[in-house]
Structure formats: C-alpha cells, structure tokens
C-alpha cells in the first residue's frame, strides 16, 4: 500500500456550520477524507467547529474552508487557493450558483423594494456578497450600512428582522432554506418580498502554501468526496456537492454588478 502524505492543519465549513448542522458538515468532511485517501492524502480527522473570523481562514494552516466568492476574488484569492464551488440544491438555481432572498417581518408594511432605502438594514458582514453586495444593483445600500445592524451571521439577521431590530435583510437562499428546515421558528416571523440575481456560489478553498500537486489532489478529493454524500445527508443538507467552475466566473465581483 502506498504511504499516505499527512496533511496537518485546520479544516472548516464555517459558512453553514451551525450547531444544528454539525452532523451534516461532519458527514460531508468524512466523505472528503475518504476520497483523499485514494488520492494519497491523510487529511485532518475532524472539522473545527469553532467560530472563526475570516483572517483565521487565510492562514497557512488552513487545509479546507469556505469563503464568500466576492471577498475571496477581490481580496483573498492569492493566499487562499480555489478548489471548487459549492453546489446547492435550491431547486431553481444553476449549478454552482445561488442568490439571496430579501426578507421583512410578517407584519411589515413593506411589500416591495420601494421604501427599503429608508428602512433599517440587518446584514451579516459588510463585505458579504449574499448579505450586502447582492443589493447594490437594486438600491443605494451605503446609507443603510452606515445606520444598519451588523448581525455577524445570516441566522442572526433573520432574528433581527423577526424581532423588530431591523426592517429588512438579504439572506443567502441556502441559509434561508436550512433555517426553514432546522430552525423553523426562526423563519416563521419573516416573509420574502424579492430575490436577487444569481451569482457564483461560495468557494471551497485551501492555503496557497501547499504545492500544486497537493492542491490538485485536494481538488479531486473535494469533487469526488462530495459527489459521494449519502442520500440522506445530501437530501437533508440540500447539497448537490461541488463543481469546478474555475476562477473566471468570479470576475463578476470585480464589476460591481
């Protein structure tokens, strides 16, 4: 048997690794690890479920992580190498693409985009594609950002709208679907008034400190491993796996549209 190359470091799936979903992200990582052994790699045994800031995802010790495509392309792609693109099962999305849902509280007088510029905005992170940048073609978002509520996560933005601390939010459609399935009390207090244009989905990344051969083996491990998710996991997680779009489609995030 060929000796495996041990790859030490941090493995994370931070964008959707809510406590209610740890069993699903763990199962996805197990599939990647098994595929990696066929590629000659021995990857870290488990995911690190601790919340991490983006700066931690970028260090040389990151073996696997996720990142929103907009900040990755504009700021991080030179030290966080592209492996693949997340492929969500949103029923009506192109492979490797997603969009956001614009939500308000059930009892809100808002029913369309008109009026949002004067409303209080909840957002997960000021550099988020799905929470902020997706709205730029639709309205002048800067004043809303300046007086808005930075929640720290899509689930917390939903909470802020539901409990009246904010009037509206843009929620990654995959996050919204997961909240509907696993935390239905969270989405019960809000309704969707619009959705944004589709854009390339979050990237799956590794540290640029690894050599090209290792990165290629990691890419194959991710694509093959996530294609082998047990049916009960992929159905519950609404996850088709991953696709290799390459870096070029993410250039859309340089255009500000």
Instruction: Give the chain's radius of gyration (CA, Å).
Output: 18
Statement to judge: residues 44 and 127 lie in one domain: no
Partners of residue 200 on adjacent β-strands: 97
Statement to judge: residues 185 and 115 lie in one domain: yes
Closest-CA residue to 191 (of 169, 213, 221, 172): 169
Q: List the structure tokens of 211.
A: 């050599």
Q: List the structure tokens of 13.
A: 């799936």
Q: Are 99 and 195 in contact (CB under 8 A)?
A: yes
Q: Give the model's pLDDT for residue 51.
A: 76
Domain membership flag for residue 95 = no
Statement to judge: residues 166 and 221 lie in one domain: no
> Residue 167 CA to chain centroid, in angstroms?
23
Tell me the whole-structure pTM to 2 decimals: 0.93
Below-70 pLDDT ranges, the chain: 1, 52-60, 255-257
CATH number at residue 186: 3.40.190.10
* Long-range contacts, stretch 206-213, CB < 8 angstroms, 24+ apart: 206/62, 206/63, 206/64, 206/65, 206/80, 206/81, 206/83, 207/9, 207/58, 207/59, 207/60, 207/61, 207/62, 207/63, 207/79, 207/80, 207/81, 208/78, 208/79, 208/80, 208/81, 209/60, 210/7, 210/81
Statement to judge: residues 115 and 48 lie in one domain: no
Statement to judge: residues 139 and 191 lie in one domain: yes
Statement to judge: residues 120 and 75 lie in one domain: no
**Secondary structure (3-state) at 42:** strand
CATH number at residue 217: 3.40.190.150
Statement to judge: residues 34 and 51 lie in one domain: yes
**Total domain count, the chain:** 2
Domain membership flag for residue 123 = yes
Statement to judge: residues 130 and 215 lie in one domain: no
Q: Give the model's pLDDT for residue 257.
A: 44
Q: Is 96 left (phi over 0), alpha (psi -120 to 50) or beta?
A: left
Its domain, for residue 42, covers 5-90+201-254
Statement to judge: residues 28 and 80 lie in one domain: yes
Statement to judge: residues 81 and 33 lie in one domain: yes
Distance CA 177, CA 181 (A): 6
Other CB atoms closer than 10 Å to residue 8's CB: what's the count?
9
Statement to judge: residues 104 and 154 lie in one domain: yes
Q: List the structure tokens of 9.
A: 């470091």
């Amino acid at each position: 048997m060929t000796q495996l190359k041990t790859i030490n470091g941090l493995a994370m799936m931070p964008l959707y690794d809510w406590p209610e979903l740890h069993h699903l992200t763990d199962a996805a990582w197990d599939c990647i690890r098994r595929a990696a052994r066929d590629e000659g790699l021995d990857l870290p045994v488990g995911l690190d479920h601790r919340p991490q800031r983006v700066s931690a995802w970028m260090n040389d010790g990151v073996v696997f992580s996720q990142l929103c495509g907009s900040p990755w392309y504009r700021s991080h792609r030179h030290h966080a190498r592209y492996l693949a693109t997340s492929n969500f099962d949103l029923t009506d999305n192109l492979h490797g693409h997603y969009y956001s849902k614009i939500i308000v509280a059930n009892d809100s007088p808002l029913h369309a985009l008109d009026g949002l510029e004067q409303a209080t905005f909840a957002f997960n992170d000021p550099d988020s594609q799905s929470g902020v940048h997706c709205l730029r073609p639709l309205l002048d978002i800067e004043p809303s950002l300046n007086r808005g509520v930075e929640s720290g996560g899509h689930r917390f933005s939903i909470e802020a709208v539901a409990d009246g601390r904010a009037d509206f939010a843009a929620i990654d459609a995959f996050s919204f679907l997961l909240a509907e399935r696993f935390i239905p009390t969270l989405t019960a207090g809000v309704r969707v008034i619009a959705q944004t244009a589709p854009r390339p989905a979050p990237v799956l990344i590794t540290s640029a400190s690894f050599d090209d051969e290792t990165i290629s083996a990691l890419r194959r491990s991710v694509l093959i491993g996530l294609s082998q998710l047990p049916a009960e996991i992929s159905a519950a997680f609404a996850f088709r796996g991953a696709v290799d779009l390459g870096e070029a489609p993410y250039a859309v995030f340089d255009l500000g549209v």
